[in-house]
Structure 1
Amino acid sequence: MRRFVFLVAAAVAAGSAFAQPSTPAISVDTLRDVDKTLSSDAFEGRKPTTPAEEKTTAYIVERFKAAGLQPGNHGSWFQQVPMVELDARNVSPLTFTGGKAPLALGYRDQMVIATYRVTPRVDIRNSDVVFVGYGIDAPEKGWNDYAGMDVKGKTVVILVNDPDWQTPGKDGLFDGKAMTYYGRWTYKFEEAARQGAAAAIIVHDTEPAAYPWAVVRSSWTGAQVELDEKGDHLDQSQATGWIQLDQAKALFASAGKDFAALSEAAKHKGFRAVPLGVKASVSFDNAVRRSMSKNVIGILPGTTKSDETVMYTAHWDHLGHCDPVNADGICNGALDNASGVAGLVALAEAQVKAGPAKRSMVFMSVTCEECGLLGSRYYAEHPVYPLAKMVGGVNMDVLNVIGPTRDFVVSGWGKSELDDLMRPLVEAQGRVMTPEPNPERGGYFRSDHFSFAKLGVPMFDGGSGEDLVDGGVAKGHAATLDYIANRYHKPQDEYDPNWNWAGAVQDLTLYFQFGRRLADDTSSWPNWYKTAEFRGIRDRSRAGQ
């Protein structure tokens, strides 16, 4: 879960006319019952590949059946998701030699390091170090930080976020303050691997990263989970990691370079990568454990365009057993994301009651969102229903249980043709649609809808804001902060019988209408705006390339 709002993804074409069926009542009883059950101690926090997974996925199948769905994977309710756990051990310092003074950065406090490769040992010795600015190759923007520089076998040092992250508004080449995918650390590691880098190291800076070093340290140490696929990810860099900002400055000083000046140069088109004249070395062992998890898939087949799909998703997993608080050591994940699964079941019930649409509706509860969107990523890369025929989708990651709101907040504002098409549905509820207040945090890229967006399917991401009908922004913001501080990823994220589900029903009604429009208006086929980073992928997919 990436923030305390209801996440949605969907697509529809402008000006389309169709008959919108009446919306069946969203069952609050279903929302309460599913959430209460999945977040009970009996489900042990729903950690993938533990005995709790079997209980969790069996219960979701039971509710899908009762809702009237059919098995969604060629007669099966499940899609098997192979995973591999990599646990770095005996990590050496990350050393830089050949400069004015040697540097040795300690694991956890000064640097973190890991690998996507399924290999028992990583050993990088005397790798030439190159500063590649923001590490971006964006042909549609005429930008290539790797131009003229061969980094095969070298260690690249990369700045976090986009070159124009300090530009107010969205006026910059990379959307200014609003982070694009090029600003995300995931993209930077992917591009470094495509360029053949032996190691890719991101410089952590709290403001552009939008989170402190403590988050990096906790996320990048301990066992890391990845999809277990053919080739063992040997096409990836040998090592990926982060270094503290002060350590990066010390590295550049040792190399006789001005970190501030080079960082400024990297913000401008025409920047060229700079060899630092030093060499990097690091090594560590990997403990490898392979396992299998499951996505749960149900379908309401379409009547005339059954090969075209609209997708609803919500991740079923959470953290399992965690650090105890007041002797409670189970992270139950009642909001994150038992509530989303409850919404998924309630929507399935409503859509079945409304009858089949022209296009098929697929309902999928995915595994391992908490370990990096792995369940949704696996489906997107191994789809049961081709992405070229996937119209759009709706992703639910934490429902609103604090009451109805006057606002509807859109993440990824201005990326696709969908913004103006959602607005009439929002306004019909007497609400106002607004951009997310902190687009620089890259929230759009942190939940399961992004796995589909990354492969070209336009996704609309939005949900309840903080302007509560009862209490206004002050009360809504206080509730958000309270959840983040006191319950998010903690044992206190537990079911509360006093929750106000009216806000969830308000949003679920929107998502019912939006999904039904996508499924019934077969003349529409959405796309990204021409400037969006995913437009080319969608165009090639639709063209069958």
Structure 2
Amino acid sequence: MIRTLALPLALALPLPVPALAAPADIPQIDLPTLKEVTQTLASDEFEGRAPGTPGEERTLAYLVDQFSRAGLKPGNKGSWFQDVPLAEITAKNISPLAFTGGKEPLSLTYGPDFVAGTYRLAPRIEIKDSPVVFAGYGINAPEKGWNDYAGLDVKGKTVIILINDPDYQSKGLEGPFNGRAMTYYGRWTYKFEEAARQGAAAAIIVHDTEPAAYGWNVVQSSWSGAQQVADAENGHMDQTMANGWMQLGAARKLMASGGQDLDALMAAAKRPGFKPVELRQVRASLSFDNDIRKHRSKNVVGLLPGKKRPGEYVLYTAHWDHLGRCTADASGDDICNGAIDNATGTAALVALAKAHVKAGPPDRSIVFLAVTAEESGLLGSQYYGENPVFPLAKTVGGINMDALSMAGAARNVMVIGRGKSGLDAYLERALAAEGRVAESEPTPEKGYYYRSDHFSLAKQGVPMLYFEGGEDLVQGGRQAGLAAVEDYTRNRYHGPQDEYDPKWNWDGALADIRLYYRTGRELAMTSDWPNWKEGDEFRAIRDKSRAGK
């Protein structure tokens, strides 16, 4: 989750506005359930719901109880669970990230200056005197005629990489990388993947708040402590030895030590034909030990069987996990409770299950999928996409819920990836019934489409819908909505302050859940098969899947 709404105190005090009345043609969404499930999952007792911890065990037991009470059936051959093989890596004895051989030596401190870890299931990582290369945006895209690694072998070297795409500052959506709209090439996940394919020893991304879409506090809290990776037979030994982030100011000093100017390099990296730049004589060194624990986390699978076409499936997804213990705040609180992100979305799964059961069995089956390890790189949903419990060719489409709006009722919703699939028409009809409108995301440069669990299913061809609470608030308009987004991102996102608040305004959340209900119910009652639009990146995958159904 990235850009949800949580109303700041300054905006929480105006006179109350009457809640929008729930339409009579759909079941009542159970607000007490939403509050209870959110508060329970976000309590300190659940310790931030990190996979592989006692917090996971409590979460799984609680969700099974809630799904069962809602009237769902165990969805995986009589089991509520799908095992997801993971490995937990906890770095310790982390040395400074040291750069030598340049004009001045540079020693970066773990936490304030840089964060790093490894995907390798290795007890010890040691990088010594690795040559340093500035690799621009770290993109190799043959179909676009773009290769930031062109002409240079980076095997065994440390690459310094910029976040986002080269054209993220464009005004419109025209450009080699969709202009202002981020492509997958702009995501940190891709950049580490490509650095590994190139044979780099280490990949370090330069943090810059605007193109990253979040501050250093988010990077530090997300990348410190135990990290989850998918288990692998090869121990991920084909990955870089280390990957991580460094502060923008530290990157400036590093480039200067190597006789380069970071601003000039960043400008050059935006232009076609950029070639990587070696920082001559500069060498990087970093070492740390790893505690490694393999375990099986779990996706929770609930099923409402269809009455006419039970072998066709509609998905609702939300991730139950959060960061667990994280960087402590000034008060010493080190539990990242993840109330908004994503106890609220998980609570919506339960509330929607109750509503659909109350309405009676639909024609198609509905799957309620609470996935693990979203915060570790969409690992739970990726595992489901690669190992589906229900055939993807028979999965009609799905709706992902990653954090609900607590800013109050809004006139609009923000659709992430609007125009990509035929699911937009279903949402438009639901919006019309509620007297609301859809708008495209205002900040496509932040790459939200690639940052939540819908992406894992989309990559497998399944049409997925993802929208967030709107910014045009009934109380306060767009100014209040944008202020709420900024407040949450700056003060609570991926930090200990993302806690349950009994004073939250649930009007907007309830209105959005009604949209989730209407859209999912229509999908479950129709015989149509919505698809990706012609020319969309996922269309060919879906067509091939359906052809072999």
What is the TM-score normalised by the length of structure 2? 0.85
> Kindly tell me: are residues 208 and 338 of structure 1, through their superposed partners in 2, closer, same or farther at Cα, counting changes over 3 Å?
closer
Deviation at 1:114, TM superposition (A): 1.2
1:348 aligns with 2:356: no
> Kindly tell me: are residues 300 and 233 of structure 1, through their superposed partners in 2, closer, same or farther at Cα, counting changes over 3 Å?
same
Equivalent in 71, 78, 82 of residue 81 of structure 2: 78
Equivalent in 336, 351, 365 of residue 360 of structure 1: 365
Query: In 1, are the aligned partners of 2:421 and 2:530 still within 8 Å (CA)?
Result: no
Aligned to 1:61: 64
Q: Distance in 2 between matches of 1:126 and 1:457?
A: 46
Query: In 2, are the aligned partners of 1:315 and 1:341 still within 8 Å (CA)?
Result: yes
Deviation at 1:304, TM superposition (A): 5.2
Deviation at 1:44, TM superposition (A): 4.7
Query: In 2, are the aligned partners of 1:455 and 1:537 still within 8 Å (CA)?
Result: yes
Deviation at 1:78, TM superposition (A): 0.9
1:423-446 alpha-carbon deviations (Å, 9 max, x no partner): 333233221211223222233333
Aligned to 2:21: none
1:313 aligns with 2:317: yes
Aligned to 2:290: 286
Query: In 2, are the aligned partners of 1:335 and 1:495 still within 8 Å (CA)?
Result: no
Query: In 2, are the aligned partners of 1:413 and 1:435 still within 8 Å (CA)?
Result: yes
Aligned to 2:160: 157
Aligned to 1:135: 138
Q: Distance in 2 between matches of 1:387 and 1:280?
A: 45
Q: Which moved more, 1:21-30 or 1:212-221?
A: 21-30
1:445 aligns with 2:450: yes
1:80-106 alpha-carbon deviations (Å, 9 max, x no partner): 233322222233333445555554444
> Kindly tell me: are residues 528 and 107 of structure 1, through their superposed partners in 2, closer, same or farther at Cα, counting changes over 3 Å?
farther
Q: Secondary structure at the match of 1:365?
A: strand
Aligned to 2:17: none
Aligned to 2:402: 397
Q: Distance in 2 between matches of 1:150 and 1:539?
A: 38
Deviation at 1:529, TM superposition (A): 5.5
Paired letter, 1:202: I
Structure 2 unmatched ranges of 5 or more = 7-23
Aligned to 1:49: 52
Q: Distance in 1 between matches of 2:540 and 2:75?
A: 29
Query: In 2, are the aligned partners of 1:367 and 1:374 still within 8 Å (CA)?
Result: yes
> Kindly tell me: are residues 124 and 491 of structure 1, through their superposed partners in 2, closer, same or farther at Cα, counting changes over 3 Å?
closer
**Mapping 1:97-496, distance limit 5 Å:** 97-278=100-281, 279-303=283-307, 305-320=309-324, 323=328, 332-419=337-424, 422-481=427-486, 483=488, 488=493, 489-490=495-496, 493-496=499-502
Deviation at 1:514, TM superposition (A): 1.4
> Kindly tell me: are residues 239 and 454 of structure 1, through their superposed partners in 2, closer, same or farther at Cα, counting changes over 3 Å?
farther
> Kindly tell me: are residues 261 and 402 of structure 1, through their superposed partners in 2, closer, same or farther at Cα, counting changes over 3 Å?
closer
Query: In 1, are the aligned partners of 2:461 and 2:539 still within 8 Å (CA)?
Result: yes
What is the TM-score normalised by the length of structure 1? 0.86
Aligned to 1:505: 510
1:371-390 alpha-carbon deviations (Å, 9 max, x no partner): 44333233233322243443
Structure 1 unmatched ranges of 5 or more = 7-20
Aligned residues: 529
Deviation at 1:130, TM superposition (A): 3.1
Q: Secondary structure at the match of 2:464?
A: coil
Paired letter, 1:3: R
Q: Distance in 1 between matches of 2:58 and 2:174?
A: 49
Paired letter, 1:527: W
Deviation at 1:480, TM superposition (A): 4.5
1:87 aligns with 2:90: yes
Q: RMSD of aligned C-alpha atoms?
A: 3.2
Equivalent in 23, 31, 34 of residue 34 of structure 2: 31
> Kindly tell me: are residues 142 and 302 of structure 1, through their superposed partners in 2, closer, same or farther at Cα, counting changes over 3 Å?
farther
Q: Secondary structure at the match of 1:317?
A: coil
Paired letter, 1:94: L
Q: Distance in 1 between matches of 2:491 and 2:92?
A: 32
Equivalent in 481, 492, 515 of residue 520 of structure 2: 515
Deviation at 1:327, TM superposition (A): 8.6
Paired letter, 1:526: N
Identity of aligned residues (%): 58
Aligned to 2:18: none
Deviation at 1:536, TM superposition (A): 5.6
Q: Distance in 2 between matches of 1:387 and 1:127?
A: 44
The one of the two structures with greater contact order (alpha-carbon pairs below 8 A, sep at least 6) is 1
> Kindly tell me: are residues 200 and 528 of structure 1, through their superposed partners in 2, closer, same or farther at Cα, counting changes over 3 Å?
farther
> Kindly tell me: are residues 53 and 515 of structure 1, through their superposed partners in 2, closer, same or farther at Cα, counting changes over 3 Å?
same
Query: In 1, are the aligned partners of 2:4 and 2:468 still within 8 Å (CA)?
Result: no
Query: In 1, are the aligned partners of 2:75 and 2:301 still within 8 Å (CA)?
Result: yes
Paired letter, 2:316: Y
Q: Distance in 2 between matches of 1:335 and 1:408?
A: 17
Q: Distance in 1 between matches of 2:488 and 2:252?
A: 36
Q: Distance in 1 between matches of 2:255 and 2:334?
A: 44
> Kindly tell me: are residues 404 and 151 of structure 1, through their superposed partners in 2, closer, same or farther at Cα, counting changes over 3 Å?
same
Query: In 1, are the aligned partners of 2:214 and 2:489 still within 8 Å (CA)?
Result: no
Q: Distance in 2 between matches of 1:328 and 1:200?
A: 31
> Kindly tell me: are residues 310 and 195 of structure 1, through their superposed partners in 2, closer, same or farther at Cα, counting changes over 3 Å?
farther
Deviation at 1:347, TM superposition (A): 1.2
Q: Distance in 1 between matches of 2:335 and 2:129?
A: 45
Deviation at 1:527, TM superposition (A): 1.6
Q: Secondary structure at the match of 1:58?
A: helix
Query: In 1, are the aligned partners of 2:411 and 2:472 still within 8 Å (CA)?
Result: yes
Deviation at 1:219, TM superposition (A): 2.8
Query: In 2, are the aligned partners of 1:311 and 1:393 still within 8 Å (CA)?
Result: yes
Deviation at 1:510, TM superposition (A): 1.3
> Kindly tell me: are residues 491 and 500 of structure 1, through their superposed partners in 2, closer, same or farther at Cα, counting changes over 3 Å?
closer
Q: Secondary structure at the match of 1:394?
A: strand
> Kindly tell me: are residues 317 and 111 of structure 1, through their superposed partners in 2, closer, same or farther at Cα, counting changes over 3 Å?
closer
> Kindly tell me: are residues 277 and 535 of structure 1, through their superposed partners in 2, closer, same or farther at Cα, counting changes over 3 Å?
farther
